[in-house]
């Protein structure tokens, strides 16, 4: 049976999260000044590590052809904007 799970992300950089295989990210947002992603998951599935990159506006080059933009968040009353990406494969953001 599918459920919606929330995953917390750090403020910036590339990070890996254990998620059930086939998890579908449905939203990126901020809760209590923490960047979060929400995903539809089947908790009965084995887990896999997925990579996510949190980038600031104007941050150094990346190749937009190899990443999927999941969403952008506005934090601290509009003073900070962060963009959340997932690579087509995990090693592409390293």
Mean pLDDT of 68-87: 91
Predicted confidence (pLDDT) per residue in 3-59, tens digit: 999 999 987 788 999 999 999 999 999 999 999 999 999 999 999 999 999 988 887
Enumerate the β-bridge partners of residue 31.
Answer: 34
The pLDDT-based confidence of 91 (bands split at 50, 70, 90) is low
Sign of CA dihedral 25, 84, 92, 63: positive
Chain-centroid distance, C-alpha 55:
10
The answer to whether the beta carbons of residues 90 and 51 sit under 8 Å apart is yes
Token reading at 33:
């000044």
Q: What pLDDT was estimated at residue 89?
A: 64
pTM of the prediction? 0.85
**Planar angle of CA 77, 83, 85, nearest 5 degrees:** 155
């Amino acid at each position: 049976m599918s459920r919606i799970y929330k995953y917390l992300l750090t403020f910036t950089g590339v990070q890996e999260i254990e998620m059930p295989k086939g998890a579908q990210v449905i939203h990126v947002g901020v809760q209590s000044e923490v960047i979060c992603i929400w995903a539809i998951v089947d908790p009965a599935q084995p887990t896999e590590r997925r990579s996510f990159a949190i980038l600031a506006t104007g941050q150094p080059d990346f190749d937009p052809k190899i990443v999927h933009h999941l969403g952008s968040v506005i934090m601290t009353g509009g003073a900070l904007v962060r963009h959340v990406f997932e690579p087509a494969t995990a090693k592409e953001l390293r």
